[in-house]
Amino acid sequence: MADDISLPSTVLPAGARPAPLIDPFQRAITYLRISVTDRCDLRCAYCMSENMQFLPKRDLLSLEELDRLCGVFIARGVRKLRITGGEPLVRRDIMHLFRRLSRHLESGALQELTLTTNGTQLARFAPELAALGVKRVNVSLDTLDAAKFKDITRRGDLPVVLGGIEAARKAGMQVKINAVALRDVNGDEIPDMIAWAHGLGMDMTLIEVMPLGEIEADRTDQFLPLSVARQRLESRYTLTPLPDRTGGPARYVRVEETGGRLGFITPLTHNFCESCNRVRLTCTGQLYLCLGQEDSADLRAVLRATQDDAVLARAVEEAISRKPKGHDFVIERQRPAAVPRHMSVTGG
Ligand code: SAM
Ligand code: SF4
């Protein structure tokens, strides 16, 4: 077994509710996204380069360290955890972490445990994830055309992912489809993908390409502003804005013809920072306070220096006190990328 996770970690007594972490702009930080690996079995062209240099395994937090750190965040008022990556389900023994974290759902300290996945391993893991209390899963899928899928992901097999989605639905999980809008690649397909997803009762979210990490292509060639995608959609669908906000970057509409929900994540054309409730932990234990800024805190160093969770909690509090007001993404014909780290390191 790669990671032994038998150490005890912070569990709040049932019913206890800690005061949330508050940042300098009076935002309560209740949502932690955790990248558990930078590795992936796909190589989506907008996310990774063909020959990615992955981190040495010793640099990654062990599952035991991830569990301990999550416990500290939960004890400080984090109510929602999202496990991501890289591809979280390719991390060895990842189900041990889900098993450990599920005790916080049972105690009521944690409201939600979710994950974002490319779906390739979901058929295998969906039943256990559902049994552990994972009620919702985001599956990233940019096309329903098998050849295009292979192209975008440089190796993926569409039927495998569709099988994963089916397994998650069968297990009773609510599936949301995330699609990155890519000019000249899937732009024309978006209306049909919405009809497919909504036909199966799944929400769908469209994402703009963000300038994270060096890749071979120039992202200005991939960038399809969602303002344009939305205009095109309105020639086929009636979109009614919904008030639903999650503290995240998505804005939602109801598609009247399908009855389903559609989200738009538009970091480049719409500023969403004012209500930001989240921070991100990388697989090496760096806490990033904003997806689009470089400022971070090295929690791995603190984790490995002490067994005292109170010291760790103070390091978390100190980091949150530095959370910036917002980001400043601009996609321009320039290199290097606006933010040098890949999404697979910080966690999407
Ligand atoms: N491997 C998992 C997956 O694909 O769902 C989880 C990690 S992936 C980095 C999370 C999300 O980030 C995916 O929906 C992916 O499409 C998106 N993503 C990756 N790189 C991106 C970029 N440069 N701009 C916008 N979205 C990106
Ligand atoms: Fe892997 Fe997800 Fe990045 Fe695609 S988007 S390469 S599936 S981490």
**pLDDT, position 213:** 72
Q: Name the residue type at position 343.
A: M
Q: Are 50 and 101 in contact (CB under 8 A)?
A: no
Give the residue-averaged pLDDT of 247-274. Answer: 83
Average pLDDT taken over every residue of the chain = 88
Q: Are 225 and 269 in contact (CB under 8 A)?
A: yes
Residue ranges of E strands in 223-282? 239-241, 250-255, 260-265, 278-281
According to CATH, what is the number of the domain 27-346? 3.20.20.70
**pLDDT, position 12:** 52
Is any ligand 2 atom within 6 A of the Cβ of residue 85? Answer: yes
Cβ < 6 A, ligand 1 pocket: 40, 46-47, 84-87, 116-118, 140, 178, 180, 207, 209-210, 212, 343-344, 348
**pLDDT, position 345:** 64
The mean-pLDDT minimum among 146-155, 232-241, 278-287, 291-300 falls in 291-300
pLDDT higher than 90, residue 317: yes
Which tops the pLDDT comparison, 313 or 221? 313
Q: Ligand 1, residues 38, 83, 140, 342: which to mutate, most atoms within 8 A of Cβ?
A: 140
Q: Are 258 and 199 in contact (CB under 8 A)?
A: yes
Give the residue-averaged pLDDT of 229-248. Answer: 89
pLDDT band for position 16 (cuts 50, 70, 90): low
**pLDDT, position 178:** 97
Alpha helices in the chain (DSSP H): 63-75, 94-107, 122-131, 146-153, 158-170, 190-199, 219-222, 226-233, 299-305, 309-320, 343-346
Q: Are strands 28-29 and 260-265 parallel, antiparallel or unpaired?
A: unpaired
Two tokens, residue 89: 């389900």
C-alpha 187/C-alpha 177 separation (Å) is 16
Is any ligand 2 atom within 6 A of the Cβ of residue 44? Answer: yes
> How far does CA 150 lie from the centroid of its chain?
22
| Domains of the chain, residue spans | 27-346
Cis check: omega of the bond before 191, within 30 degrees of 0:
no
Tell the burial category of 16 from Cβ atoms under 10 Å away from its Cβ (0-12, 13-18, 19+).
exposed
CA of 118 to the centre of ligand 2 (A): 7
**pLDDT, position 344:** 67
Dihedral angle of Cα 37, 43, 44, 47, to the nearest 10 degrees: 50
**pLDDT, position 330:** 53
Which tops the pLDDT comparison, 184 or 212? 184
Give the residue-averaged pLDDT of 229-235. Answer: 94
pLDDT band for position 4 (cuts 50, 70, 90): very low
Quote the DSSP letter at residue 10: -
> 190-215: per-residue pLDDT in tens?
999 999 999 999 999 999 888 767 77
pLDDT higher than 60, residue 332: no
The interaxial angle of helices 63-75 and 94-107, nearest 10 deg, is: 20
C-alpha 53/C-alpha 72 separation (Å) is 31
> Angle CA(188)–CA(191)–CA(196) in degrees, nearest 5?
125
CA of 140 to the centre of ligand 1 (A): 7
Is any ligand 2 atom within 6 A of the Cβ of residue 173? Answer: no
Which tops the pLDDT comparison, 9 or 18? 18
C-alpha 118/C-alpha 14 separation (Å) is 34
Taking the CA of 337 as reference, the closest ligand is: 1
> 90-145: per-residue pLDDT in tens?
999 999 999 999 999 999 999 999 999 999 999 999 999 999 999 999 999 999 99
Phi, psi (deg, nearest 5) at residue 109: -65, -35
**Predicted TM-score of the model (pTM):** 0.90
**pLDDT, position 83:** 98
**Beta bridge partner(s), residue 287:** 281, 297
Q: Ligand 1, residues 39, 180, 221: which to mutate, most atoms within 8 A of Cβ?
A: 180
